[in-house]
Amino acid sequence: MELVQIYQCFCDQTRLRILHLLAQTPLCVCHFQEILGEPQVKISKHLAYLRKREMVVAERQQNWMMYSLPGKRAPELEANLKCLRDCAQSDPVFKGDLKALTKLQSTCCEPEGMFATPKRHGQAS
């Protein structure tokens, strides 16, 4: 992966928010819609952009498409994701996204086992 390709994926606000969220946990499209407050087409097209460049991977789970960062990541990608997480801590938009994510994780139970965090009842897939 060329370094500049990473930045090309990072250079749109919506994609940046998506990647920042994915650095926390895998999510499905409707979660992005909910958290970012953006229409489905917009989310879906940015995810297609990222998929095409292998910045994210998608896996179907019943009706939902689960998106996540690739399991094996180039060190440059890893470094830049870490940098993004650090920088995002002082940005209200990204902080808001994390807050909305936390809220979602406590209220949303679909797809099945999605947010099976250790503190709640675990439903292995």
Partner DNA sequence: TGACTATATTCCTGTAGAGGTATATAGATC
Partner DNA sequence: GATCTATATACCTCTACAGGAATATAGTCA
83 contact, one of a copy of itself, DNA, none, CB 5-8 Å limit per kind: a copy of itself
Tokens of 74: 């180039």
Q: What residues form DSSP beta bridges with 59?
A: 66
| Binding footprint of a copy of itself on the chain (CB under 8 A) | 2-4, 7-8, 10-13, 16, 75-76, 79-80, 82-84, 86-88, 90-91, 94
| Contacts of DNA in 10-29 (CB under 7 A) | 11-15, 28-29
Min dist CB 69 to DNA, Å, is 15
Cβ count near 1 (within 10 Å) = 15
Specify whether the CB–CB gap between 9 and 50 falls below 8 A: yes
120 contact, one of DNA, a copy of itself, none, CB 5-8 Å limit per kind: none
| Contacts of DNA in 86-125 (CB under 7 A) | 110
Query: Greatest CA separation found in the chain?
Result: 42
Q: Which DSSP symbol is given to 111?
A: S
